[in-house]
Structures are given as C-alpha cells and as structure tokens.
C-alpha cells in the first residue's frame, strides 16, 4: 500500500503538522496487514525536519522553498515526485485545499485531510479535525461533500502509543515538577521568558523540564541558562514527552496538539495561544475548566509567568480539579487506532 503525506514544518509554522503526521504514519506502518510504503512530501523551508522523518524510516521528497506557491503549482510539484499511483494521500496543510486535492486525484485513489480551521472547501474522502468545539458537528457541513467521512473531536486525536501507557503515580501523588513546552519553533521566544521566570520564582523544591525543538533559534542560550539553574533540565527534540507529562504537576505551554496530550495525562496547564487558530479551542477548554488560558503570546512577560506560576503552584485543590476535568475529555482507548480503522475501511472499499 502506497501512502503519501503532504505536510510542512518550518521555523515560522512550527513542527505540529509533521509530528502528528509521523504519529499517523507510524500507526499505519504497524497496523496494516500489507507493507506500507510511506512517502512524505515537504518544502525545504528552514526547520523542515527532513532528517527526523528519515530517522523514522520514511522516504521524503523536499520541494524547493518559495514565497509564492499556489495550490496548482504545489500540486504540479507534488505529482512530479510521486513515482506511482498511491492508495492514500494525507494532506495536513493550511495553504492547501480542494484545488490541490483535485489535481492529485489523478495519481491518488483516496484522500484524507487533517484540518482545524474550517475556513475553506476540501475535496477529500475523510476529514479529521481532532479539536473540541461546541459547533464541531456543523463546522464542515458546507466545506466537504456529503460522502466525506468526518472524524471530529478528541475521540480521533492523533496520540503516540506512549500516551496510553500510564507511567507514574496518579496526579494527586505527583511532586512539584513543572513542564515547559511552547512548540518546536517557539516564534515568540516564550521559552526564554519561562526560564527567566524560574530564575525569579525561587519556589521551594520545584524542579522543571524545559522542552524545545532541535531548530529552536535560542537553543545555545537556553542550554546555558538551564545549566546554571538548579533543578532545571533542558530536553531537545525529545521522544519521551508522555513520560515528562505524566511526571509533571503543572505545565506552562502553547495551545494546539499539546492540549490533547496534556488531557490524556490529566496534566493541568497554563496555556498561551501562539496562533489565531489556537484561540477558539483554548477558550472553550478554559471555559470547561480543563486548562487556564493566560492570553496571547504578545501579552506575555517573564514577570507575568512568575506571578501565575507562584499562584497556581500553591493551589493544589484547583490543580486537582483542572486535572480531573481534562481527563474526562479523552477517550479511554487509542484515538489514533480509531483513525487507522477508518482509513483501512476506506482503502478496502
């Protein structure tokens, strides 16, 4: 079975699209009864993560970086690197929509789209939007065909298998351990603010895990800053995020896909939205009591982080309540496997 993924990562847009596609690719590779030939197509933007994709054992074709690419031109370039017909194309890209998919149908039998914006039409057989919103069931009614299978909400969230394996005691038994992660790119340098906040905080017995992507522009500076702070560890492009989340008592981080990882680990979070598409889901989760929304990235400062951390770390009952509410939003079994099952049914006809 030939499967093609079209997704991008860069310093500007972050790594989320590629990371969730890798999660799905790994699940497909282990679940299909026939050999899965998996091929990624990405643009050669700074921070493209090609080496990480290759480390997973997948073929990757890098399209040339360009500032003005249309759906048609992107489709033409994509078709030029697809050597043979594929059973499934998976598109996870905010700049690509129905026009791109229509062009790719000449080589791709079935198409799946991963989206969360609900702001453009799609030509696809499956649409996945793992976000939790009050209008989830109606968002795509005018944007996909009636025949399109819609996989909506956290029931279909793409999580790695490690998140379904409890690795530490219950949340109420966790120690004062903080986890900080603002995404692979962190364009607002929020990680630096968080580390500065920790140097001001001087909270007794607090330890912290700081996670950044391999292409983080301040990597060297953060390595030095964390090295001189007692109890603070820096993790670069780690593949054990579930373990860090299950160990933590509180997380300071961005919205996006991390919401569902945190909810699965019953981890309370102070969330900063770093992109407009994160705001609706974050606001809804905060309204439900499943996280605390601190505001938008441009409004943040080290002093504000220190103030908020100092308050919430001294409110165990409040953190317990957020933990319990977050845990109720996630399915007991693997959402990724539910997506794989839907794909297998589609491909088999």
Mean pLDDT throughout 54-77?
93
Domains and CATH numbers, the chain: 2-159+334-348 (3.40.50.11190), 162-328 (3.40.50.2000)
pLDDT of residue 184: 78
Indicate the SS3 state at residue 253: strand
Mean of pLDDT over the chain:
93
- The pLDDT value recorded for residue 231 is 93
CA–CA gap between residue 168 and residue 100 (Å, rounded): 45
Q: What is the mean pLDDT of residues 101-108?
A: 97
Share of the chain above pLDDT 70, in %: 97
Task: Quote the pLDDT of residue 205.
Answer: 87
Tokens 């590629």 -> residue: 18
For 203-250, write each residue's pLDDT tens digit. 888 999 999 988 888 999 999 999 999 999 999 999 899 999 999 999
- Give the pLDDT score at 169: 53
- In tens, the pLDDT along 7-50 reads 999 988 888 899 999 999 999 999 876 788 999 999 999 989 99
**Digit-coded pLDDT (tens) for 159-199:** 988 888 765 555 555 678 999 999 877 989 999 999 999 99
Distance CA 309, CA 312 (A): 5
User: Averaged over 80-101, what is the pLDDT?
Assistant: 96
Which residues lie below 8 Å from residue 94, measured CB to CB, with a gap of 6+? Answer: 13, 115, 117, 277
Note whether 201 and 306 are within 8 A (CB).
yes
Distance CA 180, CA 212 (A): 9
Judge if pTM exceeds 0.75: yes
Q: Which residues on adjacent β-strands are paired with residue 272? A: 254, 295
pLDDT band for 99, please (50, 70, 90 cuts). very high
**pLDDT of amino acid 82:** 96
Q: Are the beta carbons of 273 and 254 closer than 8 angstroms?
A: yes
């Amino acid at each position: 079975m030939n499967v093609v993924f079209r997704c991008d990562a860069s310093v500007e847009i972050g790594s989320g699209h590629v990371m969730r596609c890798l999660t799905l690719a790994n699940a497909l590779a282990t679940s299909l009864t026939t050999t899965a030939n998996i091929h990624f197509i990405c643009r050669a933007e700074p921070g493209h993560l090609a080496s990480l994709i290759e480390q997973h054992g997948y073929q990757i074709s890098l399209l040339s970086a360009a500032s003005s690419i249309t759906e048609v031109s992107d489709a033409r370039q994509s078709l030029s690197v697809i050597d043979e017909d594929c059973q499934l194309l998976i598109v996870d890209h905010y700049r690509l929509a129905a026009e791109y998919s229509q062009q790719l149908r000449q080589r791709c039998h079935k198409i799946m789209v991963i989206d969360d914006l609900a702001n453009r039409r799609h030509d696809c057989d499956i649409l996945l939007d793992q976000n939790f919103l009050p209008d989830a069931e109606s968002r795509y009614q005018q944007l996909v065909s009636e025949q399109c299978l819609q996989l909506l909400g956290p029931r279909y969230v793409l999580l790695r298998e490690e998140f379904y394996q409890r690795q530490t005691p219950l949340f109420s038994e966790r120690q004062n351990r903080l986890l900080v992660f603002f995404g692979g790119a962190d364009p607002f340098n929020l990680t630096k603010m968080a580390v500065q906040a920790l140097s001001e905080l001087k909270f007794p017995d607090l330890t912290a895990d700081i996670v950044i992507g391999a292409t983080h522009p301040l990597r060297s500076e953060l390595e030095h800053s964390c090295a001189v702070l007692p109890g603070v560890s820096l993790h670069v492009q780690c593949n054990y995020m579930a373990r860090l989340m299950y160990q933590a008592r509180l997380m300071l981080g961005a919205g996006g896909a991390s919401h569902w990882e945190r909810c699965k680990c019953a981890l309370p979070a102070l969330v900063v939205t770093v992109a407009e598409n994160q705001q609706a889901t974050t606001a809804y989760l905060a309204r439900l009591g499943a996280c605390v929304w601190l505001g938008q990235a441009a409004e943040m400062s080290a002093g504000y982080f220190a103030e908020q951390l100092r308050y919430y770390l001294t409110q165990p009952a409040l953190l317990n309540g957020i933990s319990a509410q977050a845990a109720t939003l996630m399915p007991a079994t693997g959402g990724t496997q539910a997506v794989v099952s839907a794909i297998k049914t589609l491909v088999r006809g």
